[in-house]
Homo-oligomer: A and B are copies of this chain.
Amino acid sequence: MAKTAKFDRQQVIDLATNLYWQKGFHATSMRNLQDEIDMRPGSIYAAFGNKDGLFKETLKNYTDAGIAQITKCLDMHDSPLEALKAFVRFQVIDSKEAAPSGLCMLTKTIGELTSDNQELIELTKSHLSQITGTFAKVIAQAQECGELSNVKSCDELANYLQVQITGLRTFSKVNLNNEQLALMIEEVFTHYPFNV
């Protein structure tokens, strides 16, 4: 019938995710993206609609990767809490040097965008809720197996964890001392509300 040979969509989205994550939505131009993913404007617009459309796909891609990361941590640790701690270490310490930005792409986006892009904000918020929800599930597991008390609900603890991660990731952009960061992460889990 017709031509079907195409670019590798997942690879293109990965590259776009990294660029958007690094530079932010506004500072990333379509020409930047064209260079990065090696596609001509017509092809990009045919595949993703417009700049917003491509950005939306990268937000979902980033979120899926984050949740996959949590799952991976769960597989690698017997204890749900140890898994969460490993995830936080990865996000705060490793991600600082390896990832395109030291920050979470979702919180960075929420910080950057205004009501001019309300639809993107709402989508970003919903993705962030998805991640917090995943935290809550893991925390609930920890509570069920007695690793954690029920003084705070799993949702409250998940929110608390989000606050800590966001705060620590921003802090890590200013203070680069890995040992200090590791200690601060450790203390998140060894004190209230994670340790009664």
Residues of A within 8 A of B (CB): 22-24, 26-27, 101, 103, 107-108, 110-112, 114, 116, 125, 128-129, 159-160, 162-168, 170-171, 173-175, 180, 184, 187, 191-193
Q: List the number of copies, as a whole number.
A: 2
A175 to B110, CA, bound (A): 12
Residue of B nearest to A23 (CB): B114
Q: Are B170 and A111 in contact (CB under 8 A)?
A: yes
- In terms of DSSP, what is the predominant structure of the interface of chain A? helix
| Minimal beta-carbon separation of A152 from chain B (angstroms) | 10
| 10 pairs of A and B residues whose beta carbons are closest in the complex | A167-B167, A163-B167, A191-B192, A26-B26, A166-B167, A166-B170, A26-B27, A163-B171, A107-B170, A108-B111
**CB-defined A-B contacts under 8 Å, sample of 7:** A27-B116, A107-B170, A110-B174, A160-B184, A163-B168, A163-B170, A191-B192
Among candidates B110, B111, B160, B162, residue contacting A112 with C-beta atoms closer than 8 Å: B111
